[in-house]
Structures are given as structure tokens and as C-alpha cells.
């Protein structure tokens, strides 16, 4: 014969946190578990990105880098070829497919080259990210380094 156990009057932890998120008491957890952080009035998507910003600010103060920018954007524009092939439009129309937002852009004072950085962890290097990164590198002729 099966035994019946009494239910606890206290809900388990998962049910309580789900309820708190449902009623808006707790912000929902991000997809990869990153915690938004604010440094110098700038909001960063993760603590790793905020930490890297702090390192770059120190490098800027000692003169190793200059012109530090956060969240530089690169448009992803492509030329449509298929519409003209089927008689549906102008040959070579430029279409904006999206915008890639890197984390940091700065100039290395030793080499004088522009460095573009994107702070990534292993789970955030998705197939879509790798495709966008390759598109930006091909279209704009830049190299994006991952930190």
C-alpha cells in the first residue's frame, strides 16, 4: 500500500521565486545569468564587461590607450542581388540588415591602431554572434577581439 505524505504548508524555493518574478518583486534572470552593473553612470550588461571598462579606464589614465568609447555601433548593410534577377526591383539596392554593437573601441597609443573589443563568455559565443562578427569584419574591414 502506498504511503501518503502530508504536504508542507510552505511552498518550495522555486515556486516562491517564480511567484516573485510573476508579480514583479524580482527582476527576471537574464538568459546567460549576467548581472547588469553600473559604473560611472554607464550601464553594462554584465559584471565582466564593467570590470573590463575599469581596466580600460586605468589604461587610458596612464596613457596606454586613448579615445575610449563604449557601445560603438556598426551597421550591417548588404547589397540585394536576387530582386534584380527576378525583375522585382533595382539591381544592387543596399539594405540595412541590422546593427552590431561592440562593447569598446579605443586607439592603442603604441601602435596607433583602432582596437574593437567585445566581452564574451563561452555560452554567449552563439552561432548568430559569430555570423554578425564575421559580417562586420568583412563589411567594415576591422578586427573584433574577444575578451
Per DSSP, the residues of 33-66 read: ----EEETTEEESSHHHHHHHHHHHHHHHHTSEE
Average pLDDT of the residues in 101-105? 96
pLDDT of residue 81: 75
pLDDT of residue 104: 97
**Nearest Cα to Cα of residue 132 among 104, 108, 100:** 100
Beta strands 104-108 and 37-39 are unpaired
Q: Is 56 exposed, middle or buried (0-12, 13-18, 19+ CB in 10 A)?
A: buried
Three cell numbers written together for 34: 549576467
pLDDT of residue 110: 95
* Residue linked to cell 574593437: 116
pTM, two decimal places: 0.74
| Residue 138 predicted with pLDDT over 90 | yes
CA distance 42 to 141: 28
Beta strands 114-118 and 144-146 are parallel
Q: What percent of the chain has pLDDT over 90?
A: 57
pLDDT band at 108 (very low <50, low <70, confident <90, very high): very high
pLDDT of residue 28: 65
Amino acid at each position: 500500500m502506498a504511503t501518503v505524505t502530508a504536504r508542507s504548508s510552505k511552498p518550495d524555493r522555486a515556486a516562491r521565486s517564480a511567484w516573485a518574478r510573476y508579480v514583479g518583486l524580482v527582476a527576471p534572470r537574464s538568459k546567460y545569468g549576467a548581472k547588469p552593473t553600473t559604473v560611472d553612470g554607464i550601464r553594462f550588461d554584465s559584471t565582466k564587461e564593467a570590470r573590463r571598462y575599469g581596466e580600460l579606464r586605468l589604461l587610458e589614465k596612464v596613457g596606454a590607450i586613448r579615445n575610449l568609447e563604449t557601445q560603438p555601433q556598426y551597421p550591417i548593410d548588404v547589397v540585394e542581388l536576387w530582386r534584380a534577377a527576378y525583375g522585382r526591383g533595382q539591381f544592387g539596392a543596399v539594405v540595412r540588415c541590422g546593427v552590431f554593437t561592440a562593447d569598446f573601441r579605443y586607439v592603442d597609443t603604441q601602435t596607433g591602431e583602432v582596437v574593437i573589443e567585445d566581452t564574451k563568455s563561452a555560452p554567449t559565443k552563439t552561432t548568430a554572434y559569430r555570423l554578425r562578427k564575421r559580417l562586420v569584419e568583412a563589411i567594415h574591414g576591422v578586427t573584433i577581439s574577444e575578451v
